[in-house]
Amino acid sequence: MQERSTEQLRELYRELILDHARQPRHFGRPEHYTHEAEGINPLCGDKLHLYFRVEEGRVCDAGFEGSGCAISMASASLLTETVTGHSEAEALEAAAGMQAMLRGESTGAGLGKLEALAGVRDFPSRVKCASLAWHALRAALTRHEGKVSTES
Ligand code: ZN
């Protein structure tokens, strides 16, 4: 029984990732933004540009442009959905939580929908695809703008 529910959960997560990859949320550059960062993952060819409008310490709007594999697009889509409406501190906390989960240091419990990406840990070459958007988020919020590469 335990095995079956794990399998069902995996299937649910797979569907969630595919849904976000096919129909990314918050896709496009917002008209007004205060922070931005670009992220590239040369190993896979993923290229993302993230935009955030931060007002009084709160992420009011988020958007992204770019192209890449399903994992990178789904991760960016989930990111923008997750951080919109939350404080900068909460957004950075989510980024730290994601990175700990992707490095295998935590199960990802408490990360909500983001837990769907935990499965990429089984595919080390895809971990960078999933973490790319989160590196860019951190660069955008801590340096206001920047460019990050998974290979630098
Ligand atoms: Zn990728």
Across all residues in the chain, what is the average pLDDT?
A: 93
pLDDT in tens, 88-140: 999 999 999 999 999 999 999 889 999 999 999 988 889 999 999 999 999 99
Burial pattern 41-63, b for ≥16 Cβ within 10 A else e, equals beebebbbbbbbbbeeebbebbb
CA of 108 to the centre of ligand 1 (A): 20
What pTM, to 2 d.p., does this model score? 0.92
Please give the distance of CA 133 from its chain centroid, rounded to a whole number.
Answer: 5
CA of 150 to the centre of ligand 1 (A): 11
CA of 56 to the centre of ligand 1 (A): 34
CA of 131 to the centre of ligand 1 (A): 10
Q: What pairs with residue 48 in β-bridges?
A: 39, 66
Joined tokens for residue 64: 């992204």
Helix and strand tally (H, E) in the chain? 4, 4
